[in-house]
Amino acid sequence: MSRTATEKSAPEPWATGPSASASAALSPCSVTSSAIRSTPPPAPSPAASGSPCPRYPHGVALKNIPDPGFSGDDGSADPRLTAALAAWADDRSAEPEVLAALTGARLLVPVVAILGEVEEGPEGLRRDKSSDMAVPTLEAPGGRRALPAFTSLETLARWRPDARPVAVPLRQALEAAAHEKADTLVLDLAGPVPYQLTGSALLALAEGRTSADPLADPAVTEAVRTVLAAEPEVLRAHLAPAADADGMLALSLAPEAPARETAHRVAGALAADEVLRARLVRGLTLALLPPDAKVPGEPLFSR
């Protein structure tokens, strides 16, 4: 089932009201949504609060939910992650430290109550009949979707004090984002340091890598090697960083090779490769090396 709720504004590009979606009905007094399964913080009992435990249209039998491993968690932020985010706020080149800190961090994914059914009371007044618990997602004008996550109870309360936290490792938060078809994980979107994990950085952490550098991505280097192996005129190739692209591919060609035609074929094959199209944002630039050029370091490809 799906519900829509209007939330507080979020930093760009998440400026529109997010939607709260629940992919499955929940059992009373438990939290289960998408890939996130955990037990919520203690809530007031029905007797104390004056209202019964939420009822869901399609109840799921109560069952034991695995302990996510954060039973002693007091809701504080990981000091290493907090320091990394503060450094990144001052200097965007410090993002590798944020990615490294995120790898082992505990995150809090919010779960919120949304209206399920409404009924009319004896006096003709409308009142809540049922409600659902859902993991909210944020939607941007261009159709992008993001999953919010938080480093601490304090940063969660900045956004929605009524949201219930579900403590998960990064891997589980990324699984939930993928399940909700979100391409971004927005961290602490109400501050003090909002951070968007998206693109190559999100892909790197999802694959267990701590570097978002595409040149350090094994899938990228293997795809480039495959393209070069299919071009007999290429004898050797070096892959290096570039200021205006994801990398520079420097080629050494056979002496009799037609340089322009060979470079054109290689460029076309690189542009058509599905792996490179998916993982490179700015592409690769090509450079042709003189036959006797000495390039430091090991070549990416050698025939």
Q: Strand, helix or coil at 233?
A: coil
pTM over 0.85: no
Q: How many domains would you assign to the chain? A: 2
Residue 252 sits in the same domain as residue 288: yes
Is 192 domain-assigned? yes
**Residue pair 234/251 in contact by the 8 Å Cβ criterion:** yes
Read off the tokens for 10.
Answer: 């979020």
**Residues 186, 73 share a domain:** yes
Would you give per-residue pLDDT tens digits along the chain (303 residues)? 333 333 433 445 553 333 333 332 222 223 333 333 333 333 333 333 333 322 222 222 223 334 556 767 889 999 999 999 999 999 999 999 999 999 989 999 998 887 656 666 667 666 555 557 788 889 887 888 999 999 999 999 999 999 999 999 999 999 989 888 899 999 999 999 999 999 888 988 998 888 888 899 999 999 999 999 999 999 999 999 998 999 999 999 999 999 999 999 999 999 999 999 989 988 999 999 987 888 888 999 998
Which amino acid is located at 178 in the chain?
A
| CB 197, CB 187: distance < 8 Å | yes
Q: Write down which residue in 206, 241, 271 finishes a domain.
A: 206
Residue 299 CB partners (closer than 8 Å, separation 6+)? 236, 237, 238
Same domain, 89 and 236: no
Same domain, 170 and 29: yes
Which residues, other chains included, contact 171 with Cβ-Cβ below 8 Å and sequence gap of 6+?
Answer: 206
* Structural domain span for residue 258: 214-302
Q: CA separation (Å) from 15 to 7, 114, 162, 190, 266?
A: 10, 20, 20, 12, 42
Contacts of 186 (CB under 8 A, 6+ apart): 10, 11, 14, 138, 146, 147, 148, 149, 194, 195, 196, 197
Same domain, 201 and 219: no
CB 159 within 8 A of CB 198: no
